[in-house]
Amino acid sequence: MTLLRVANVNNGPVATNDEFVSSFNAAFGQEPGASWGLGLTTNTFTFAHNGVVLSPPAPPDPCHYVTNIQNFAIVGDGAIGHVYAITIPKGATKTVAMTYKPI
Amino acid sequence: MTFARLIFAAALLAVSTAALAQQPQSAADPASTTCSFSYSSGPLTTFTRYCLSANGNIVQFDSPSGFEYISNGGPLEGYGICDVNPNVAYYDYASTDSGNWGPTTVTSPNATTQVFVRTTADGIWQLKQTIVQIKASAASTGSVKITMALKNAAPSAGT
């Protein structure tokens, strides 16, 4: 299974000038000038996972989310997210946790 | 193809169409950007406010007050899963969804927590979201902790 959480982050009145970056454990989107923004950080490390930035921030198909992934820091219109790759046997439950926090 | 085979194929198509027409329709909750559960905390400098839809999306988030992150231009926040084999996607991003989720059951175990339980329309996956407010203090902004528990309820193993 692929499990995805995503948020289109638009800081301020201009949606196309925000700064985005991601790492294994987090993704951030902020208003230019490091003034303010939103981050999404994983609290679960037991599955393969990755923070992602998607641009353009079109609603991602969880089966094809890689289409809009940006592998480098970008300036533009984007979304932050986190992706987990999890094997869930019949009858089993797997749990992940993450936190949105202003930056 | 012989005439008899053509007749058989036509009959099979008719039966299949009738069977599809008789399948029960999902009572899925449509995607929603409506603010249903609102939370705020903190003094002016660390003030943190957010709002949840009835389907477990964050449709508004500002901190400090007026510094909005999600609802500008229409909210797009939420969750998606992909059943890799057979490559079926299920998602709900508030402003749009995949149309293959069942209705959402919401409970409020305490003043800072909302629990959203939802099963895919095909009955294979159940997602339980527990969304908890971490309150702001004078020294720190608040945050939102989301726990997503995904259950495989399929009659055969998924991946």
Complex prediction ipTM: 0.96
pLDDT digits (tens, 9 = 90+) for A60-102: 999 999 999 998 999 999 999 999 999 999 999 999 999 999 9
Which chain B residues touch A99 with a CB distance below 8 Å?
134, 143-146
Chain position carrying tokens 């500002």: B62
Asked if the Cβ–Cβ distance from B80 to A99 is below 8 Å, we say no
Mean pLDDT in chain B? 84
CB-based contact, B152 to chain A, within 8 Å = yes
Number of A–B residue contacts, CB under 8 Å: 154
Asked if the Cβ–Cβ distance from A88 to B158 is below 8 Å, we say yes
The H helix count followed by the E strand count for chain B is 1, 9
pLDDT digits (tens, 9 = 90+) for B109-127: 999 999 999 999 999 999 9
Chain B residues 88-127 with CB within 8 Å of chain A:
88-91, 93, 95-96, 125
pTM for this structure? 0.87
Q: How far apart are CA A8 and CA A13, in angstroms?
A: 14
pLDDT bracket for residue B17 (50, 70, 90): very low
Residue B5 clears pLDDT 70, i.e. is over it: no
Q: How wide is the angle at C-alpha B58 spanned by C-alphas A87 and A19, nearest 5°?
A: 90
Chain position carrying tokens 């899925």: B28
CB-based contact, A62 to chain B, within 8 Å = yes
Helix (H, G, I), strand (E, B) or coil at A18: strand
| C-beta of residue B39 within 8 angstroms of C-beta of residue B50 | yes
pLDDT value of position A14: 83
Which pair of tokens denotes residue B61? Answer: 């988030």
pLDDT digits (tens, 9 = 90+) for A29-55: 998 886 799 999 999 999 999 999 999
Which chain B residues touch A82 with a CB distance below 8 Å?
none
Which chain B residues touch A98 with a CB distance below 8 Å?
145-146, 148
DSSP string, B16-52: HHHHHHTSPPP-PPPP-----EEEEES-TTT-EEEEE
For the CA atoms of B15, B17, B18, B20, the dihedral, rounded to the nearest 10 degrees, stands at 120
